[in-house]
Structure 1
Amino acid sequence: MYGDDFLISRGMERKGSLYLRSSHMHYDKPTKVSGWHQSREAEPKDYDVNEAPLGKKNLSRSTYRRFGNVTSEEWNTTTEHQLSQVHLKGDYEVQDVGKQMINEDNLETLNLKRHTGLPDSGFGAVLPHHNKDHNKMHLITTYGIDYMAPFHYTPHPKLPEVPNYSFAFKKCHSQFTDASDYRRHGRNTWQDESGIYANGEVRQKVFKPTCPITPHL
């Protein structure tokens, strides 16, 4: 009715069992002795004193050189971590590297290479480096390749830039007839009667002053 594990936990044992009640003798792993599960939970050991040959056992060596299954972290004490910050003093000193600030104008001319001890491209590189034509736009079309111009084309010389005087034809907000409407600007309550408008200078260039007197008189 009861299993072997239940009987062992109760301190009972069936007749003819090979269970060994021993906690101080060392047996092979297949042999189930008292506390065999505790021995299995303690594995793997970095230094097993029972596996070392006779005459070469070193009881000064630690059984484990880690905490649990974590093997990639450094287990330093709090005091050691705080005292080791003195080595970071050089990182906060003023360094004269002579490099300019990066903007869209000097991005292609700055030399940003650093000696990191790692390859510039490929496996192990800090940042991926693309080839020179990575962002190049290929605008060559079939018409541009197969139907080339038979003669050399000389573009027309650039025409002089024509000034834009369209602002002279715009009607500004009148200081006299539109003084009290909703289009008044600012918080002041007095009336602006200077007669100076924003497009006054442009209007003098477009509309030349003429003599009001009839020339034939």
Structure 2
Amino acid sequence: MAMYVVDDSFRGDLLETKGSLYLRSSHMHYDKRTKVSGWHQSREADPKDYDVNEAPLGKKNLLRSAYRRFGDVANEHWNTTTGHQLSQIHLKGDFEVREVCKQMVNEDNLDTLNLKRQNGLPKSGFGAVLPMHSKDHNKMHLDTTYGVDYVAPFQYSTPPTIHKTPDYSSAFKKCHSQFTDTADYRRHGRNTWQDESGLYANREVKQKVFEATCPITPHL
């Protein structure tokens, strides 16, 4: 037999008197179809992961929790603050410098950018993703008629016995004097200090070209 709630709102603020049809239950468990005074509070607790009241008698497990979630979030991995902070070590690989870094394609680097990818399409020509030119696209051919039509019949090579003559021309060049040209216009830069060391850039080359002489006059 289903029981229903009688609306006693017309009674005002008077307390409930004994013998009324108003069903109050704070310690008894009724079926969900029975509308007791706190039926809406019971419905707000649904859905439950484990309802101990619906379990058959003799199989009720009071050690099980009624909910296995927080709020209305069901599929969420709950972790502690310490576990979340310690797990950041797994993100170390995201901040490492990668060897292969592909640049963004724009109109400035379209000709020089090389993107090696496997997409099943030809690299150049019809059907290519990007219009790539050949390797000799910007090459300048400076061949002459004499160099193309009058080619030597054999390849000549320099004999191994012939050595290249070393260049000692810097030995005959005059460097800036450290005593007479101390602050002339040829000294560039901000630091034009007085250099009186007597060592010049071509000192070693001069020792190889010119023979060492005695600075003292021989007849003295």
State the TM-score bracket (shorter-chain normalisation): 0.3 to 0.5
Q: Normalising by structure 1, report the TM-score.
A: 0.40
**Greater C-alpha radius of gyration:** 2
Q: Normalising by structure 2, report the TM-score.
A: 0.39
